[in-house]
Amino acid sequence: MKRSILLSLALLFALSASAQLAAVSGIPMPKKSSEPIVGALVTFTSEWDKDLKYQRKTDADGFRVVLPQGGYIMTIEAEGYESHRLEIEVDEPNIDLTVITMLTNEQAAVRDAKRKKRYLL
């Protein structure tokens, strides 16, 4: 009897845990380009447990990560590009971020110089 109760509880837990998973997808793309950034590292870090991370590398179709629902900090890092950071609440079964525009390091430097000049006036 005890064994069947434990088995039932384990099954119930497994079913409820799978119902709380969500898929997040998107395509990092350079500004002024229609080609996706391949090989970028996408990291989802839990807001509640900084040691809990989910990572994927992007390919020609972007990325798709399945993770438990909750709050995350998403970062995208690629060589030659400014890191992209986004706070995201994963609370739906499928979240499509579509195109995520990233700046090259040179574009980011130009933007920062313009901002600095604007604030000094």
Q: Which amino acid, one-letter code, is at 13? A: F
Distance (Å, rounded) from C-alpha 29 to C-alpha 98? 10
The string of pLDDT tens digits covering residues 66-118 is 999 999 999 999 999 999 999 999 999 999 999 999 999 999 999 999 988 87
Which carries the bigger pLDDT value, residue 39 or residue 6? 39
DSSP state of 38: T
Q: What is the side-by-side order of every strand in the sheet holding 94-102?
A: 63-68, 21-30, 94-102
Q: How confident is the model at residue 83, as a pLDDT?
A: 97
In this predicted structure, what is the pLDDT of residue 117? 82
> What's the confidence (pLDDT) of residue 9?
45
CA-CA distance, 91 to 94, in Å (whole number)?
Answer: 9
CATH code reported for the domain at 20-120: 2.60.40.10
Per-residue confidence (pLDDT) for residue 3, from 0 to 100: 57
pLDDT of res. 98: 93
Q: Any residues with CB less than 8 A from the CB of 101 and at least 6 apart, and which? A: 29, 30, 31
Report pLDDT digits (tens) over 11-49.
445 545 445 999 999 999 999 888 999 999 999 999 989
Using alpha carbons, list the distances in angstroms from residue 73 to 14, 69, 117: 26, 13, 30
Compute CA 57 distance to the chain's CA centroid, rounded to the nearest angstrom: 11
> Residue 83 CA to chain centroid, in angstroms?
12
